């Protein structure tokens, strides 16, 4: 890069943008892909044929319904959104996080986003991109539970405009104690977003609590149940909040093919629920196997992945990948994740391949 081009970039690109790295997605061709918390099951041929036939009727020369009204109508009963709550859709939950950080980034960089750490990396990244301050409060080191006193102290001291709580948490997989989350919502001066991306694999939800807490929003995604390629996230909460967030949503953000595909998929929602049940069952088997391995520490998960620690994470990760299985190396991403790896629960044959690869790697 020439000196003149570097000077231009340094002049016009914000320092906080230059300081961060773009989100990296590793190459996964020819590997068993267990790194991104995806549903491993594809649609049966009959369902695929019916879906493609449905798409024949989509007029792609016209803009999509800007409010995706039919999609929202289909989602409400299945997601158990309270009748009096509003609903806004995003191109994945990432776009919803971006809308929130854009709307709450006060003049002069005074707004602060607070989250426990380690958690979903996009909370911090999008806060930085959108001009918000960010503060991470470490989880308890031994079991990744909330350090509730530290959280409440940070809320009192820093008065965050926005708090994110992943429920269950990514990448640790645990479900925070409900009473602790309730204390945080009650203490927060601004918005609290409970991110339920993995609700299909968990035992609890804050969706019914929307009518109890005016500063609570609940966020979900369809990616983890089997629709990752369609990129649809949803945010539920008081209509007054969502009316403000709508101003940051790009027009026509949910395209026509995605809208038609989501409506079709939700007509077959029972299949995705059955697959989620299969994944939960497989998760128990993988967890028990990991518990029995020497030199492995695994944490109980209520998501579709399992976090575990080994003696040498980079070496183990490389050895597993060399055997054709891609998982996630979290070593170096946060001090509490020292020597940690994360594996997505896949189909039975994929889980066996991972466990065999891990055993050989160890």
Q: In sequence order, what DSSP letters do the residues of 79-95 get, joined into one string?
A: HT--TT-EEEEESSHHH
Which parts of the chain sit beneath pLDDT 50?
A: none
pLDDT at 2: 79
CATH classification for the domain delimited by 61-268, as one of 3.30.70.260, 3.30.420.40, 3.40.640.10, 3.90.1150.10:
3.40.640.10
- CATH code of domain 3-44+270-361: 3.90.1150.10
pTM of the shown model? 0.95
- The ranges of the chain annotated as CATH 3.40.640.10 are 61-268
342, 327 contact by CB (below 8 A):
yes
Token pair in block for residue 349: 């044959």
User: Which structure tokens are listed for 287?
Assistant: 């967890």
pLDDT at 109 (0 to 100): 65
- Within the chain, which residue ranges are assigned CATH 3.90.1150.10? 3-44+270-361
Give me the helix-helix angle, 256-266 and 269-292, nearest 10°.
80
DSSP state of 222: S
Q: How far apart are the first and last CA of the chain?
A: 43
């Amino acid at each position: 890069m020439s000196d003149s081009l570097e000077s231009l970039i340094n002049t016009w690109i914000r320092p906080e943008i230059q300081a961060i790295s773009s989100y990296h997605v590793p190459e996964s061709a020819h590997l068993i892909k267990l790194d991104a918390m995806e549903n491993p099951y594809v649609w049966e041929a009959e369902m695929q044929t019916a879906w493609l036939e449905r798409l024949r009727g989509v007029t792609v020369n016209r803009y999509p319904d800007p409010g995706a009204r039919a999609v929202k109508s289909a989602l409400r009963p299945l997601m158990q959104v309270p009748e009096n709550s509003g609903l806004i859709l995003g191109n994945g939950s990432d776009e919803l996080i971006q809308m929130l950080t854009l709307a709450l980034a006060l003049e002069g960089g005074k707004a602060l986003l607070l989250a426990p750490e380690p958690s979903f990396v996009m909370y911090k990244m999008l806060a930085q991109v959108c001009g918000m301050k960010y503060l991470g409060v470490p989880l308890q080191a031994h079991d990744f539970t909330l350090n509730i006193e530290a959280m409440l102290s940070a809320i009192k001291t820093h008065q965050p405009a926005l708090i994110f709580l992943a429920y269950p948490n990514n990448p640790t997989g645990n479900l925070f104690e409900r009473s602790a989350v309730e204390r945080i919502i009650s203490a927060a001066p601004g918005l609290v977003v409970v991110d339920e991306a993995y609700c299909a694999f968990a035992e609890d939800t804050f969706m019914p609590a929307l009518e109890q807490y005016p500063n609570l929003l609940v966020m979900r995604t369809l990616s983890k149940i089997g629709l990752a390629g369609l990129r649809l996230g949803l945010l539920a909460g008081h209509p007054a909040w969502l009316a403000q967030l709508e101003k940051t949503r790009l027009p026509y953000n949910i395209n026509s093919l995605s809208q038609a595909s989501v409506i079709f998929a939700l007509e077959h929602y029972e299949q995705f629920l059955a697959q989620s049940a299969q994944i939960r069952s497989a998760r128990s088997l993988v967890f028990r196997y990991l518990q029995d391995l020497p030199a492995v520490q695994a944490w109980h998960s209520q998501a579709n992945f399992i976090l575990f620690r080994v003696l040498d994470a980079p070496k183990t990760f490389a050895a597993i990948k060399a055997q054709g299985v891609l998982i996630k190396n979290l070593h170096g991403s946060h001090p509490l994740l020292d020597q940690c790896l994360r594996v997505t629960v896949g189909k039975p044959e994929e889980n066996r391949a991972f466990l065999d690869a891990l055993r050989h790697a160890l």
